[in-house]
Amino acid sequence: MQVKVCGIRTQSNLSELKASEVDYVGFIFYRKSKRFFSDGDLSQDALHALDKRKVGVFVNEAVDEIRSIAEAYRLDVLQLHGEESPEDCAALKKGGFAVWKAFPVYDALPAQLGMYADCVDAYLFDTKGVDHGGNGVKFDWSVLSQYRGEVPLVLSGGIGPEDVARLRDLNIEQLIAIDVNSRFEIEPGLKDVDLLNKFISETKKQ
């Protein structure tokens, strides 16, 4: 199981994560977020030097602006957390980036998944809430068993240190990664990396 940690915005956290087993590091390029990248002290050079897959999180941003940011920071994955269209996703994918499209979930799978099947690399299922992610609440994971598609899945929404056993018990063939954020924070944008590392180690045990 691969693990993404999202909402990194400080050099201290980034330095700690370099030795971590985390697979993806997420940076939020959404101005209304409490974890907005530019509110921290990270530079382009810091991201360029990071030997982890870098994920940029965007919400209803123009395609050209997303592409410009992605190229500047050498992002690997674009996570689209708004109402981006299949055409937007396809345009970004043609630019050579992996695209994860986020969908809010509560107690049923989103009806529009099929529209995006040919233009994204993964669906990210996050809990439906007030904010675009980072709400710290789980949705009903039992709905994952209803998924019959071939597009890989990323699970997000309220995943915390206590969920190791539940995650191991998930038997969803298409699930490739989990996305953690607020449940591992000291404050918005500042992660408890020791807690995160323990969680990752336990999650990846066979």
Q: pLDDT, tens digit, for every residue of 105-116? A: 988 999 999 999
Q: Say which DSSP state 3 is in.
A: E
Q: What is the pLDDT of residue 128?
A: 74
50: its two tokens: 């990071």
Q: What is the pLDDT of residue 133?
A: 53
Strand partners for 104: 126
Q: What is the pLDDT of residue 121?
A: 99
For the annotated catalytic residues, the residue numbers are: 6, 126
**185-187 and 190-191 beta bridge pairing:** antiparallel
* Statement: residue 206 has pLDDT above 70: no
102: nearest Cα among 124, 117, 83: 124
Q: pLDDT, tens digit, for every residue of 70-106? A: 999 999 999 999 999 999 999 999 999 999 999 999 8
Mean pLDDT of the region 150-172: 95
Q: What is the pLDDT of residue 22?
A: 98
Instruction: Tell which wins on pLDDT, 58 or 108.
Output: 58
3-state secondary structure of 173: coil
Which of the following CATH numbers is that of domain 2-204: 3.40.50.150, 3.20.20.70, 3.40.430.10, 3.40.190.10? 3.20.20.70
Mean pLDDT of the region 157-182: 95
Q: What is the pLDDT of residue 87?
A: 98
**53-58 and 190-191 beta bridge pairing:** unpaired
Q: Where are the domains of the chain?
A: 2-204
Average pLDDT along the chain: 94
Model confidence at 205, in pLDDT bands (50, 70, 90)? confident
Cβ atoms within 10 Å, residue 129: 16
d(CA 160, CA 173): 22
Cβ atoms within 10 Å, residue 203: 20
Q: Say which DSSP state 43 is in.
A: -
